[in-house]
Amino acid sequence: MLLTFSLPYFQVHGIRAPAYTVLGTKATPYNVAIWAKQHGMDHSYFDRFWTYATQVLFHFNLGRSYKENSSVWGIISLYVPRTIWLAAVSLALTTIIAIPLGIYQAARRNTVGDYTATGVAFVLYAMPSFLLCMLLLDAFSFHGPHLPNSPPQGVQAWAMFTSPRVSYCRCRIDHALSGWAQSLYARHGSRSPGPGLRAHGEGEGLL
């Protein structure tokens, strides 16, 4: 907590940096000094730390974002449910894709379908998630169905998946594919490799 409180002192303009966010980069030193005094920044280091610690520990007050012009709790309450929904959808997509495909490959080992699925899995697993997400955005937003490339604003978490202006789900598909690829890599790495897997060696599974 002390480290977090002390870090703003080392940024440009020190602890008065938020004044330039609110007043603008061309704010005069006089206006900055008035703003800093109104927000208690003219107090000593230990007085400010005591206020900060008591507000956080006893009142659960995390402060206010000058950039977003909203309380920190308000920002957290907006984005945490969305994050949970996105993580849940990613896990569901991973399960839906990986289990049937794993059953298919187990039933048809050392076949063309098995090697094809494994090769695709290796390619997807080796590809960075951000690159795959960008390719999906390019395919669905610019060269395919012209879906929006930004999430809907000011809606509930569940509405991101029912609104026609959904784009986050599309970006999260890469996580599902990555999970499927990792499970395949682990499965093939833990068994004797087939003809198409000998280059990877035995025992190279990630799990």
Q: How many residues does the chain have?
A: 207
Residue 41: name the closest of 67, 24, 71, 19 by CA: 19
Distance CA(85)–CA(34), nearest Å, equals 43
**Structural domains in the chain (count):** 2
Is 173 in the same domain as 148?
A: yes
Is 24 in the same domain as 107?
A: no
Is 79 in the same domain as 55?
A: no
Sign of the C-alpha dihedral computed for residues 151, 155, 156 and 162 taken in this order: negative
* Residue 192: domain span: 73-200
Give pLDDT, residue 77: 86
Distance CA(159)–CA(175), nearest Å, equals 21
Residue 144 token pair: 């395919």
- Highest mean predicted confidence (pLDDT) among 1-10, 56-65, 142-151, 157-166: 56-65
Is 16 in the same domain as 44?
A: yes
For the segment 99-127, the average pLDDT, to the nearest whole number, is 88
Is 81 in the same domain as 56?
A: no
Share of the chain above pLDDT 70, in %: 69
Distance CA(170)–CA(177), nearest Å, equals 12
Residue 142: count of CB within 10 angstroms of its CB = 10
Which tops the pLDDT comparison, 140 or 123? 123
Is 79 in the same domain as 145?
A: yes
Is 111 in the same domain as 193?
A: yes
67-93 pLDDT, tens digit per residue, is: 777 888 888 888 888 888 888 988 998
Judge whether 207 lies within some domain: no
Is 77 in the same domain as 121?
A: yes
Is 80 in the same domain as 51?
A: no
Distances (CA, A) of 121 to 42, 44, 59, 79, 171: 58, 58, 49, 31, 18
For the segment 116-142, the average pLDDT, to the nearest whole number, is 85
**Averaged pLDDT score across all residues of the chain:** 74
